[in-house]
Amino acid sequence: MTRLTDHYELVRERNGYEPVTGDVGPVPSAQRRRFAAVDDPGVFDRAADRRTLVTTGVGMSGPPHLGTVGQILTALELQRAGLDVQFVIADLEPYHDGAPLERVQSLAERYREFVRDLGFDPDRGRLRTQSEARDVMHTAQLLAPYYDPDSWTDGEDADRSPTAWERAVSDAYEAVGGERTVEHSGPTSEAARTHSAVLHGVDFLHPLYAGEYEQLVLAFGIDEHHLTRMARQFRDAAPVEGRVAGIYTRMIPGFDGAPKMAKSIPGSGISLDMSPETIRERIDGDEGGDPAGSPVFQAMCLASGHGAERLDDFEAACEVGGAEWERAKAEYAEYVVDLAERWRATGE
């Protein structure tokens, strides 16, 4: 197994998560290749009887990359499964970090248009920015006295050594001078960062606090599974009731041997602001051989609309290589090029 596959197994073992091998409540087995683990699948089993909200979203450090696309498409599939889905465009996080407000607002509107263009139905869910949700800001002020991350625990992972994949990610960031964020020139402060952290937690908890839902499911990449623990501990400290669970997607390994696609690791990923020629060249360069370590095949699992059976065929083609894999890559390259064209259209 690759280090990333080992990582999934260790995270599941350490946290009592289950693999996704079939239906998870209303989520059909056709989506099983999208997910690496599920925490408390009973929440999904009770979704028909208890008001349940799935919440996810994206940060805005720049144009979408394939991992971001995967989060958007995951939200669409969960919505198609009949679940209420909230998709939060985190525009206040970069603003609190010093990004100019006008640029943040412009980028947020591009993201909103892109998410809708890909098929998210705001009439059957919630597609919002942080800055427009005044009710959530109000709840953040009321729950701020209960926000004390210094008293929260990291659970089982606290006493465990990093997985091989986590060490590889750390080494990759260290090699390029640390995990970089977008450089901002605007004002920021410790108060802004704390407020941003409180609001991040309340983005999750507000629907429970307001009594709109009885169950909350966080849907993020498995590298962010700690957010579910954070939400539970914040809920327990505050006057909030309701069940909190999580369902976690796969990661996408990076090109050129990078442990994951990341903006901070040069050459590791594909962003939708790349030229069609660059996108095609990068995808074509994946020779296959090991589906678990193939950036293109793993991107197909997360950032495409293919079901598990079609992906089974692509997995076999990736493993063998040859003409079938070349055709699969060419098809996927055109899909990503189309995504890039749709993203560019949001800025016109």
* Contact between residue 325 and residue 296 where contact means Cβ atoms under 8 Å apart: no
Which among 332, 228, 207, 180 has a CA at the least distance from the CA of 270?
332
Cα–Cα distance, 339 to 341 (Å, whole number)? 5
User: Which band of pLDDT confidence, cut at 50, 70 and 90, is reported for residue 180?
Assistant: low
Burial class (CB in 10 A: 0-12, 13-18, 19+), 150: exposed
* Contact between residue 302 and residue 70 where contact means Cβ atoms under 8 Å apart: yes
Give the mean model confidence (pLDDT) for residues 86-115. 95
* Contact between residue 91 and residue 108 where contact means Cβ atoms under 8 Å apart: yes
Cα–Cα distance, 289 to 272 (Å, whole number)? 26
Give the mean model confidence (pLDDT) for residues 190-194. 94
pLDDT computed for residue 1 by the predictor? 46
182: left (phi over 0), alpha (psi -120 to 50) or beta: beta
Q: Identify the three-state secondary structure at position 164.
A: helix
Q: For residues 262, 264, 269 and 272, what is the CA-based torsion angle, rounded to 10 degrees?
A: 100
Cα–Cα distance, 17 to 22 (Å, whole number)? 15
* Contact between residue 332 and residue 286 where contact means Cβ atoms under 8 Å apart: no
Q: Model pTM?
A: 0.95
Q: How many Cβ atoms from other residues are within 10 Å of residue 178's Cβ?
A: 10
Cα–Cα distance, 4 to 36 (Å, whole number)? 11
Q: Identify the three-state secondary structure at position 219.
A: strand
Q: Identify the three-state secondary structure at position 133.
A: coil
57: left (phi over 0), alpha (psi -120 to 50) or beta: left
For tokens 């909030």, the residue is 240
Per-residue pLDDT reduced to its tens digit, 201-229 = 999 999 999 999 999 999 999 999 999 99
Detail the DSSP E strand segments found in 239-326: 243-249
Which domains, from first to last, does the chain contain? 3-249 (3.40.50.620), 260-345 (1.10.240.10)
Cα–Cα distance, 138 to 240 (Å, whole number)? 15
Asked if residue 110 has pLDDT above 90, the reply is yes
Strand partners, 86: 55, 126
Strand partners, 156: none
φ and ψ at 175, to 5 degrees? -65, -25
Could you say which DSSP state residue 217 is in? E
φ and ψ at 288, to 5 degrees? 75, -155
User: Which band of pLDDT confidence, cut at 50, 70 and 90, is reported for residue 157?
Assistant: low
For tokens 């056709």, the residue is 30
pLDDT computed for residue 160 by the predictor? 74
When mean pLDDT is compared across 6-10, 41-45, 175-179, the lowest value belongs to 175-179
